[in-house]
Amino acid sequence: MAITSTKHHDTHEPAHRYGFDTLAIHAGQPNDPLTGAVNFPIYQTSTYGQEEIGGKPDFCYTRTGHPTRAALEANLAALEGARFGLAFSSGMAAINNVLNLLQAGDHVIACRDLYGGAYRIFTKLYAKFDVSFTFVDTRDPGSVRRAIRDNTRLLWLETPSNPLLTLTDIEACTSLARRAGVWSVVDNTFATPVLQRPLRLGADIVVHSTTKYLNGHSDVLGGAVITSDAELHEKLKFFQNCVGAVPGPQDCFLTLRGLKTLSLRVQRHCDNARRIAAFLETHPAIKRVHYPGAAHHPQAELARRQLSDFGGVISFELEDDIERVKRFSRGCRLWTLAESLGGVKSLFCHPATMTHASVEPDVRRANGITDGLIRLSVGLEDASDLIRDLDAALDAARDATRDARSARHRVEA
């Protein structure tokens, strides 16, 4: 069953003819016609011999394209229900690719609660090319309407957001953008196309850090830009080749391998997260749990409408006290202190000093990222083991306060 030809993946059959899991395994990657290999081959070469001068070969130079990347790009497009996909060497390279659409004098509206690296490339790199940014609280779609100017070109959304899991109503915001002639972009890294398809909700472009759930095994860095708009795709593809932040054949192969089990993995991530969130809710050391599946999530209704499940990321707040957080961290055995998310192994991070360290402290605090905030990327281990480990670490965190108190007593004594 050749769902798409890798050579002509622009014109592949409509994705809706097959279910998501069938596409994840087949789209873009027929069995190798030469050998029958059931896995799409890696062509480890930087250049391709050409038949004649002035011919139009499918592949000529690996920056411009190679078969494994074409397979990956077709697969990514199919999973988002889109016509076109482009693969990059990282999520940041994918974000940069979309920002290449801008020119000096342009204006971008972005959600306030944003991946730190996205905030950094906006404010530290593109701002210096005279692109201006307005960060708004997109929980209120009206804030988008109020921020639109004559020179606004892009609306940048991330939902659920990192690290506070706030939600944006994609349909409401993208329709406002469309009416104003503004392209809307959704970073769909947290939800994945298993839980949410932004293009169907009116987005023009979806970006991913495939480093996270799409590859899912914490062993490769990658990014994707996906659209159904042929004109936009042509522009983005041109920038992709110009800039050259492209993934090599091995990385594309690994990502394709990860994608085959995407929905199975995401479902288990969601199931484990649900159990862990329920445990955290009851723990006395925790001040607040941020999880879109919680009944008390301020946008619980939108979460149910927009997401088919609630994902594998949970954030929670301990007392705003770095010593307590450090004790929690040292108390973890199964959970690893690390950047990143979406892999099989459970990770936790401290946004204030890690993923969001590049956000100015006052902006960070104003956005609700306290020193007591911990973000969990719930992995695929047994939920009961993960809970037991968290329980022990949280006990250790509480001991910190007791220690601090008794240390103070000692000093006072």
Ligand X SMILES: *Cc1c(COP(=O)(O)O)cnc(C)c1O
The site for ligand X (CB under 6 A) is made up of: 90-92, 115, 117-118, 158, 162, 187, 189-190, 209, 211-212, 221, 223
**Catalytic residue of the set 18, 21, 61, 63:** 63
- Work out how close the CB of 24 gets to ligand X at its nearest, in angstroms, rounded to a whole number: 20
- Work out how close the CB of 30 gets to ligand X at its nearest, in angstroms, rounded to a whole number: 28
CB nearer to ligand X: give 279 or 348.
Answer: 348
- Work out how close the CB of 64 gets to ligand X at its nearest, in angstroms, rounded to a whole number: 22
- Work out how close the CB of 56 gets to ligand X at its nearest, in angstroms, rounded to a whole number: 33
CA distances from 367 to 138, 250, 320, 326 (A): 13, 39, 14, 22
Residue with tokens 């997109």: 138
CB nearer to ligand X: give 185 or 276.
Answer: 185
Encode the chain in three state secondary structure. Answer: CCCCCCCCHHHCCCHHHCCHHHHHHHCCCCCCCCCCCCCCCCCCCCECCCCCCCCCCCCCECCCCCHHHHHHHHHHHHHCCCCEEEEECCHHHHHHHHHCCCCCCCEEEEECCCCHHHHHHHHHHHHHHCCEEEEECCCCHHHHHHHCCCCEEEEEEECCCCCCCCCCCHHHHHHHHHHCCCEEEEECCCCHHHHCCHHHHCCCEEEEECCCCCCCCCCCCCEEEEECCHHHHHHHHHHHHHHCCCCCHHHHHHHHHHHCCHHHHHHHHHHHHHHHHHHHHHCCCCCEEECCCCCCCCCHHHHHHHCCCCCCEEEEECCCCHHHHHHHHHHCCCCEECCCCCCCCCEEECCCCCCCCCCCHHHHHHCCCCCCEEEEECCCCCHHHHHHHHHHHHHHHHHHHHHHHHHHHHHHC
CB nearer to ligand X: give 91 or 331.
Answer: 91
Does residue 212 carry a catalytic annotation? yes
Does residue 115 carry a catalytic annotation? yes
**Catalytic residue of the set 187, 204, 309, 371:** 187
**Catalytic residue of the set 112, 212, 237, 398:** 212
Q: Quote the CA–CA distance of 117 and 13 in Å, as a whole number.
A: 36
CB nearer to ligand X: give 76 or 92.
Answer: 92
CB nearer to ligand X: give 108 or 285.
Answer: 108
- Work out how close the CB of 329 gets to ligand X at its nearest, in angstroms, rounded to a whole number: 20
Q: Quote the CA–CA distance of 388 and 203 in Å, as a whole number.
A: 41
Interstrand relation of 107-111 and 132-136 (parallel, antiparallel or unpaired): parallel
CB nearer to ligand X: give 4 or 168.
Answer: 168
**Catalytic residue of the set 83, 112, 113, 115:** 115
CB nearer to ligand X: give 223 or 331.
Answer: 223
Does residue 32 carry a catalytic annotation? no
* Long-range contacts, 54-60 (Cβ 8 Å, 24+): 58/7
Q: Closest CB to ligand X belongs to which residue?
A: 91
- Work out how close the CB of 9 gets to ligand X at its nearest, in angstroms, rounded to a whole number: 23
- Work out how close the CB of 258 gets to ligand X at its nearest, in angstroms, rounded to a whole number: 13
* Residues annotated as catalytic (active site), given as ranges: 63, 115, 187, 212
